[in-house]
């Protein structure tokens, strides 16, 4: 931010000088006048003090005299992000929620007054109010991003968030259905073939697709080769759901279907287009789980969530719809599928994301992997306890005398020299 001198006037019979400066408020765009006092015996000294004041204000970074509060600044930043169209509308919706949390604690502060202690205090108060580390980290990251933009706009010279850290987040525990429960759920779903909820459950358990991706599937996405293509998804913005491109480039993907899923979908598609043909409709491409008509309406993701919750309550399951995606990933990794293939199924942008999320979800798989260690050596790797139980003598431990240990230590020191 740049300051311009608009006047220098000495107060009568004193060594105090009134300095009038102006600057353009970067948030509101208004021309703002600020008034300051410096002490000097001569006009030359006063001019030097005025220039030092301007330099100090510009070094502190915008906001001395600015009318912008954190709340006003965050609103301007989010409007900029939305107009720039650099993030999804669903992301903007999340940002606005996190911005409300920020403003609840520090919204009335002036932008230029915000310091490192204020940022740390805001996070500490959120934690004291019962927010989890994850819930605190989200607003912190948004504030850090916003203040980085403020620095780029010459509104600040430094970002206080660069010197702060949010509370350490504990790794969320993955809730995946075990073999018995996922088999039971799939069996119940298959008792209602062709029903949107039943088909959604089968697709989630056998492909790992997200809820918004499943609801956005159209019949043109179903291949004749037993595959289905994820080409769109539903995102949630202010006012409801909207159809969008997949989350990342890797999220757009083609997934092989099981024989049962593929046959069921092909039969459903055949019935749909037979009915549309009898109605004289051509060129329609309805949503697979939506209404089967020319102007197809999709299966609303919120409705899917509610119906799935009711299904779980009636049948004794304790998991969210997104947990079916976790279930799919867990069973694939436990079954020996390489991680890169699992990442491709899930539409993850990197293999490391899959590893970070699911590396520890199946302790049984880790325990069974020890057989690979045993097979890597041409020596008996059975447990000593088993040998003792079988009547053989236990393996004796190596024992050294004090003199032998001293000699080995001296030899090691000699080699180092």
How confident is the model over 128-144, as a mean pLDDT?
94
In the structure, what pLDDT confidence band is assigned to residue 273 with cuts at 50, 70 and 90? Answer: very high
Residue-wise pLDDT for 212-269, tens only, equals 999 999 999 999 999 999 999 998 888 888 888 876 666 788 999 999 999 999 999 9
Cα distance between residue 193 and residue 257, in whole Å:
16
pLDDT at 372 over 50: yes
- What the block records as the tokens of 68 is 């912008």
**Among positive and negative, which fits the CA dihedral 397, 401, 403, 405?**
positive
| Rounded percentage of the chain residues whose pLDDT exceeds 90 | 49
Residue-wise pLDDT for 188-211, tens only, equals 999 988 899 999 999 999 999 999
Helix 322-334 × helix 339-346 angle, to 10°: 160
Q: Write down the pTM of the prediction.
A: 0.65
pLDDT at 74 over 50: yes
pLDDT score recorded for residue 64: 39
3-state secondary structure 51-91: HHHHHHHHHHCCCCCCCCEHHHHHHHHHHHHHHHCCCCHHH
Location of structure tokens 């990442």: 343
In the structure, what pLDDT confidence band is assigned to residue 271 with cuts at 50, 70 and 90? Answer: very high
Cα distance between residue 338 and residue 39, in whole Å:
74
Which residue, among 300, 346, 339, has the nearest Cα to 322 in the 3D structure? 346
Residues 6+ apart with CB under 8 A from 134: 169, 172
pLDDT at 153 over 80: no
Instruction: Look at residue 306 and give its three-state secondary structure.
Output: helix
Q: Where do the domains of the chain lie, and which CATH numbers do they carry? A: 4-60 (no CATH), 70-163 (1.10.150.130), 179-358 (1.10.443.10)
Backbone angles phi, psi at 242, to 5 degrees: -140, 150
The least confident of 64-78, 145-159, 172-186 is 64-78
pLDDT score recorded for residue 388: 45
How confident is the model over 110-132, as a mean pLDDT?
92
Q: Which of the two residues, 239 and 329, has the higher pLDDT score? A: 329
How confident is the model over 312-338, as a mean pLDDT?
90
């Amino acid at each position: 931010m740049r300051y311009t001198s608009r006047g220098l006037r000495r107060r009568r019979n004193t060594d105090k000088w009134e300095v009038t400066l102006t600057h353009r408020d970067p948030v509101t765009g208004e021309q703002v006048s600020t008034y300051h006092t410096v002490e000097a015996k001569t006009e030359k000294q006063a001019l030097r003090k005025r220039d030092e004041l301007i330099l100090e204000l510009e070094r502190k970074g915008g906001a001395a005299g600015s009318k912008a509060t954190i709340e006003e600044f965050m609103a301007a930043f989010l409007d900029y992000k939305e107009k720039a169209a650099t993030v999804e509308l669903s992301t903007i919706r999340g940002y606005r929620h996190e911005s409300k949390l920020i403003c609840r604690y520090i919204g009335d502060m002036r932008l230029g007054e915000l310091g490192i202690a204020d940022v740390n205090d805001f996070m500490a108060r959120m934690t004291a109010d019962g927010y989890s580390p994850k819930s605190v980290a989200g607003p912190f990251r948004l504030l850090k991003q916003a203040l980085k933009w403020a620095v780029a706009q010459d509104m600040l010279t430094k970002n206080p968030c660069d010197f702060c850290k949010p509370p350490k987040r504990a790794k969320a525990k993955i809730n995946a259905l075990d073999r018995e429960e996922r088999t039971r759920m799939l069996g119940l779903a298959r008792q209602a073939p062709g029903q949107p909820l039943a088909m959604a459950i089968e697709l989630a358990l056998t492909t790992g697709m997200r809820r918004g991706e499943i609801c956005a599937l159209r019949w043109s996405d179903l291949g004749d080769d037993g595959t289905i293509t994820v080409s769109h998804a539903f995102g949630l913005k202010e006012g409801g759901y909207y159809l969008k491109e997949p989350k990342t480039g890797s999220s757009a993907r083609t997934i092989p279907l099981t024989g049962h899923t593929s046959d069921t979908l092909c039969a459903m598609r055949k019935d749909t287009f037979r009915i549309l043909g009898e109605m004289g409709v051509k060129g329609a491409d309805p949503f697979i789980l939506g209404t089967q008509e020319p102007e197809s309406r999709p299966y609303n993701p919120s409705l899917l969530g509610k119906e799935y919750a009711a299904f779980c309550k009636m049948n004794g399951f304790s998991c969210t719809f997104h947990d079916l995606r976790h279930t799919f990933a867990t069973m694939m990794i436990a079954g020996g599928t390489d991680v890169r293939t699992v990442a491709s199924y899930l539409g993850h942008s990197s293999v490391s994301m899959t590893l970070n999320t699911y590396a520890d979800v199946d302790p049984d798989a880790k325990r069974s992997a020890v057989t690979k260690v045993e097979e890597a050596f041409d020596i008996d790797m059975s447990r000593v306890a088993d040998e003792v139980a079988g009547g053989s003598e236990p393996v004796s431990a190596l024992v050294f005398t004090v003199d032998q240990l001293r000699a080995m230590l001296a030899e090691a020191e000699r080699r180092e020299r």
